[in-house]
Structure 1
Amino acid sequence: MQENFWKDKYPAGVPTEINPDQYPNILAVLRESCKKFASKPAFSNMGKTLTYAELYTLSGQFAAYLQKHSGLQPGDRIAVQMPNVLQYPIVVFGAMRAGYVVVNTNPLYTAREMEHQFNDSGAKALVCLANMAHLAQDVVPKTGVKQVIVTEVGDMLPPLKRLLVNTVVKHVKKMVPAYNIPGMVKFNDAMAKGKGLSLQEANPVSEDIAVLQYTGGTTGVAKGAMLTHRNLVSNMLQAKAMMGNNIKDGEEVLICPLPLYHIYAFTFHCMAMMISGNHNILITNPRDIPAFVKELGNYRFTGFVGLNTLFVALCNDAEFHKLDFSNFKVTLSGGMALQLATAERWEQVTGCKICEGYGMTETSPLATVNPIDNIQLGTIGIPVSSTLCKVIDDDGNELPLGERGELCVKGPQIMKGYWQRQEATDEILDAEGWLRTGDIAVIQEDGYLRIVDRKKDMILVSGFNVYPNELEDVMATLRGVLQCAAIGVPDEKSGEAIKVFLVKAPGSELSTEQVKEHMRSNLTGYKVPRYVEFREALPTTNVGKILRRELRDEELKKLAAK
């Protein structure tokens, strides 16, 4: 019934199926695209552009260096911790070509978060930006990382510009704290050494792991989703298929403000746009809206990949309104719920509709999307090609159309499982390949889906998953805390903001600022609570489990009463 239901829901020009085995691995796509689109621009950043041919040459040099000098064995994990700079695709594709598994690492991670991820993944090497090398200095000795390669923001720029950018970042803006990592290698030195070396090209099979992408999944502890070559090849083919004839091979200019280390931007820009031979404009710091808008003015862009928070910020900037939108035809939204008012304003300013999709790290990530020619605002679209969706009740029974239930997804893009966590895998993935998303959805008669609630307690801050368990674990280490809980509260700018509740131990004089400072020193910035409330007691079950749901309901009632 499932397959028959979905077959007639796809618009003309969008295939219901893709062939997930069209390519044996990501490297086959890379080879084909870099040959087919050799002279076309692949990535641009800070005024410097790499063609597909240059990307292939440079990633090969980096791969050769790793094979000869890193001491890594095929299948070893290499952590990549960088913002959107040209070095990122060179390193990622180089690592894959050398036969290693990429572990995407958030550059904003604290030392505690880095240590957990490096140890959990068993990373043997790290490529990081100099800006966070001081943290690596402290973390690396506590992990299995043996090789550290450090790059600076301007390393891929022409010599004079490189010197200027790196000097300003280090000495004027003082964004590079001092560090000393024994045996550390500079990125440009590694590239120079790799230039004269031969490369033994890896040839992974489709079920080999390509990327360990860390996520909290449905619980608080960060777990590595094992995304195979077949998973990612499938998702790039699915993304291409769902865009129909709107995206022309080798002709599009796509703006990439979202971080490539996040699965959404990673799959779209490094994978789906690679197979199409299109041009990705990497924005290193999208938070600097004036500089971002100035950069946008340099390109007659045709596409933009973002999320609600970013759309709002840009529409509130007067200079953004003055840009040339005459070639603009595709805006994709994901990572957090798209607000109707935002979508309407974006179209009013740019003349381009926003196409919302849905996915998870565990789905590589694209699971559903609005076809570009058939956008239905307020929905997450239809399942991408070769994908089935259903909603189930608490007992696992499939529910009829129009009823609310937990959304489950099945397709070739579904992860292999969580790295070294079989129990957690079994909780979310069944023997038939259905993935339980933890989100409550409704499937409409026309096949479009709507997300109506979240089953899990996850907090979504500007598209990033924040897990109450992790926040509470960190809060509990602060002296003077007797009980604590974390929830998400509605926020116009970020979708949700974090609010924490604490009960002080007797005699404690703990302050709001002390709580925030403690969280700030142990967690990435977006995980630091916006609001702190002290209480005499927190609502609990009869066995003492804190009821977060009750706290959320109280906050919603307060908002409704305003």
Structure 2
Amino acid sequence: MEQRLWHASYPAGLPRDIVLDEQETLVTLLERAFTRHAAKTAVTCAGESLTFAQVEHASALLARSLQAAGLKRGDRVALLLHNNLIYPVALAAILRAGMVGVTMNPLYTARELQYQLADSGSSALLAAEPFMGLVNEVLDQTQVRYVMTVPMKEVKQALFATGGKADAVPASHGRQVVSLRDATSSLADADFASERVSPSDLAFLQYTGGTTGVSKGACLTHRSVLASSLQMRSWLALALDIDNFEIVTPLPLYHIFPLGTTLTSLASGAHNRLVVNPRDAQALCAELKRAPFDMLIGVNTMFNAMVTLPEIAGIDFSRCNVVIGAGASIQEAVAAKWVKAGGPPITEAYGLTETSPSATFNAPGCNGTIGAPVPSTDVLIVDDAGEPVPLGTPGELLIKGPQVFAGYWNREDETRRSFTPDGWFKTGDIVTMDAQGLMYIVDRKKDMILVSGFNVYPNEIEGVVAMHPDVLECACVGVPDERSAEVPHLFVVRRAPGLQAEALEAHCRKHLAAYKVPRHITFLESLPKSAVGKILRKELRVPAAAV
């Protein structure tokens, strides 16, 4: 593969490399933004807002609260929150205190919550008040010694309250539980000085989605997340006033994609409008109609849900220059429906937890490809023997760059298996690259279906099925077959109740080779999804295997 041939396809004005100061960290980046943009609105959520000066002050209070509870530099602090006004404040506080953020899925069961708290060795937990029943079930099985409860409403009032109680309420085994209001208001007046951290220090333990196995903590350093933010800024600047824009964030901040855009927004002086519930498409439409905006992020399932709502016709997209779709492939049919409904063309991007998350980008408004590698990034596409494949040939994507993670938390063997001996990260994604250096996702390596010796990729089947007008959404997995080794099993949510399997099979035969046509078709009321809206194929394999 020609060295960085994708540079020829870079839009005018995009640098080939980012400038990464050796001493810069997320702390210096954020604190510079707090000073430069002090009077501007930084975040809005559920009718409440904070300026950058208020985020600076509130994050200093929160950092001091954690220190007063006995936490030290390097301690892990877990966040179990919906999108909330305090979320960006908490991120800044943890980083400024030299601690390590552990974001957690608010849909976790007790088992999943206990696992991540214990695996990360978290010493403190910030939890939304409605989750405290769940938290109390597992605390005794963790190392957590300090819990701060966060309200769902009147968060700003709690942040800046005065006259709180000086002592936290003791919980079992010496743990303390204290409200946000009491934690911050009981502090004596004092200045706050951020901890001196180095670029190689851990910033986040970001747990993988666990869609292909047990969730693992990816070690993201200040340098890796900083590099990702600078890479993101470099290509967003092609379409935005990078120091003066409004972004609507409906995706939950525990996920690496919205976490990355939120940190980038904070560093850029942008106004981030958080939406509490990512699955409430009508609430999202209401927020979009409330005021003009410059940028929107989402996933394929979110866009697919929105195009069915009449409310989308009332959204003013006139100022919106960037709509980013990531987290899963944007299906061609969904992208077309979105534009037909009045939305700006979706810009498809690709990233991973392990790349903090920046990996590839498209020119604004382009989709159908995951685009080219972001600045300061190298890629290889290799076969199963690790040898580079010719252009246009599917192979596993390998990545090198400053945004790549430092390894998996306490999992040396997993880390070793995830990198080549010469330091390339093995993504597990099968892609092709064209002559311009643009890449196309074929599928996850682990999701590939082997039909009579032929490689069949669920993404391709799902893309074809999604083109059928009576299909709302679909997913495909491989199931064992005595004759062919494996065959595709398709799961479909109907848009039209009269849709029959025979019509879908005929549609597939028109657009797919015979061996790719699903052997089994099952209709469901809904598909299993993660909190961010990604379809969970692994949860479909059990019912599929029973057929």
TM norm structure 1: 0.77
The residue number in structure 1 matching 2:19 is: 19
Select the residue among 291, 294, 298 that pairs with 2:286: 294
Using the TM superposition, give the Cα deviation of residue 533 of structure 1 relative to its aligned residue in structure 2, in angstroms. Answer: 3.9
Aligned residue number for residue 56 of structure 1: 56
- Quote the sequence identity (%): 36
Q: Is 2:317 aligned against 1:318?
A: no
Shift of 1:297: 1.6
1:400 aligns with 2:393: no
The answer to whether structure 1 residue 424 and structure 2 residue 414 are counterparts is: yes
| CA–CA separation in structure 2 for the residues paired with 1:525 and 1:390 | 26
| Deviant stretches of 4+, over 3 Å | 1-4, 216-219, 457-461, 487-494, 524-535
- Which residue in 2 is equivalent to 1:266? 259
**Equivalent in the alignment of 1:192:** 185
Cα distance in 1 for residues equivalent to 2:349 and 2:67: 39
1:331-363 alpha-carbon deviations (Å, 9 max, x no partner): 000001101121122223235110001111001
Q: What is aligned with 2:452?
A: none
1:247 deviates by 1.5
User: Amino acid of the residue matched to residue 55 of structure 1?
Assistant: V
Letter in 1 for 2:431: A
CA distance change for structure 1 residues 6 and 293 in 2, over 3 Å: closer, same or farther? closer
CA distance in 2, matches of 1:311, 1:402: 29
Check if 1:220 corresponds to 2:219. no
Question: Of 336, 346, 362, which residue of structure 1 is paired with 2:354?
Answer: 362
Once the two structures are TM-superposed, the CA of residue 282 in structure 1 deviates from its matched residue by 0.3
Counterparts of 2:442 and 2:280, CA distance in 1: 33
> 1:309–1:493: 8 Å Cα contact kept in structure 2?
no
Q: Which residue of 2 aligns with 1:98?
A: 97
Tell me what 1:47 maps to: 47
Gaps of 5+ in 1: 163-179, 469-484, 495-518, 539-550, 552-562
Shift of 1:432: 3.0
The residue number in structure 2 matching 1:436 is 426
Q: Deviations over 1:247-277 (max 9, x none)?
A: 11342111100011100000112x2112221
Q: How does 1:471-486 map to 2 (within 5 A)?
A: none
Contact 1:388 1:410 in 2 (8 A): yes
**Superposition pairs of residues 469-508 of structure 1, within 5 angstroms:** 489-491=490-492
Deviation at 1:200, TM superposition (A): 3.7
Q: Per the alignment, in what secondary structure is the counterpart of residue 127 of structure 1?
A: strand
Q: Could you tell me how far apart the structure 2 residues matched to 1:247 and 1:63 are?
A: 32
Q: CA offsets, 1:392-417, max 9 Å, x none?
A: 01111111211110111111100000
| CA deviation vs aligned residue, 1:5-56 (integer Å, no higher than 9, x gap) | 2332311111110023365210101111111111111110112111111111
Corresponding position of 1:471? none
What is the alpha-carbon distance in structure 1 between the residues aligned to residue 346 and residue 426 of structure 2?
Answer: 27
1:2 offset after TM fit, Å? 5.0
Q: TM-score, normalised by structure 2?
A: 0.79
Q: Give 1:29's aligned amino acid.
A: L
Q: One-letter code of the match for 1:131?
A: P
**Native 8 Å contact 2:252 2:278 kept in 1:** no
Q: What is residue 143 of structure 1 aligned with on the other side?
A: 142
**Residue 108 of structure 1 contacts residue 525 of structure 1 at CA under 8 Å; is this kept in 2?**
no
Which residue of 360, 364, 371 maps to 2:363?
371
SS in 2 for 1:391: strand
Return the alpha-carbon distance in structure 2 between the equivalents of residues 8 and 492 of structure 1. 42
CA distance in 2: counterparts of 1:533 and 1:442, whole angstroms: 32
Residue 466 of structure 2: aligned partner: none
What is aligned with 1:344? 336
1:75 lines up with 2:74 in the alignment:
yes
Superposed CA RMSD in Å reads 3.0
Q: Distance in 1 between matches of 2:109 and 2:94?
A: 24
2:250 aligned with 1:257: yes
Change in Cα spacing, 1:95 to 1:193, as seen in structure 2 (3 Å) is farther
* Post-superposition offset of 1:371: 1.9
Contact 2:42 2:51 in 1 (8 A): yes
Supply the AA of the counterpart residue of 1:420. Answer: N
Q: 2:321 aligns with which of 302, 325, 329?
A: 329
Task: Give CA-to-partner distance per residue, 1:411-441, whole Å, 9 cap, x none.
Answer: 1100000011111001112343311111110
Between stretches 215-224 and 389-398, larger displacement belongs to 215-224
How big is the shift at 1:490?
5.0
Q: Partner of 2:107: helix, strand, or coil?
A: coil
Cα drift, residue 451 of structure 1 = 0.7
3-state DSSP of counterpart to 1:398: coil
Are the equivalent residues in 1 in contact too, given 2:432–2:442 (CA < 8 A)? yes
Matched position secondary structure for 2:9? coil
Is the contact between residue 2 and residue 388 of structure 1 (CA under 8 Å) also seen in structure 2?
Answer: no
1:518-557 alignment runs, 5 A limit = 529=539, 533=543
Q: How far apart, CA to CA, are the structure 2 residues paired with 1:493 and 1:20?
A: 49
Specify which of 205, 213, 228 is matched with residue 235 of structure 1: 228
Could you tell me how far 1:95 is from its partner in structure 2? Answer: 1.3
Partner of 1:482: none
Equivalent pair of 1:403/1:443 in contact (CA under 8 Å): yes
Amino acid at match of 1:53: A
In the alignment, does 2:148 pair up with 1:156? no
Give the aligned residue type for 2:334: T
Query: Contact 1:239 / 1:366 at 8 angstroms: preserved in 2?
Result: yes
Find out whether 1:88 has 2:80 as its counterpart: no
Letter in 1 for 2:341: V
> Does structure 1 conserve the Cα–Cα contact (< 8 Å) formed by 2:23 and 2:198?
no
Offset, 1:83: 1.0
Residues 294 and 212 of structure 1, relative CA distance in 2, 3 Å threshold:
same
Aligned residues: 465
Residue 472 (structure 1) aligns with: none
Distance 1:279 1:491, change over 3 A: farther
Cα distance in 2 between the residues matched to 1:217 and 1:324: 37
Distance 1:217 1:115, change over 3 A: closer
Structure 2 CA distance, aligned partners of 1:312 and 1:75? 41
Retained in 2: the 8 A contact 1:147–1:183?
yes
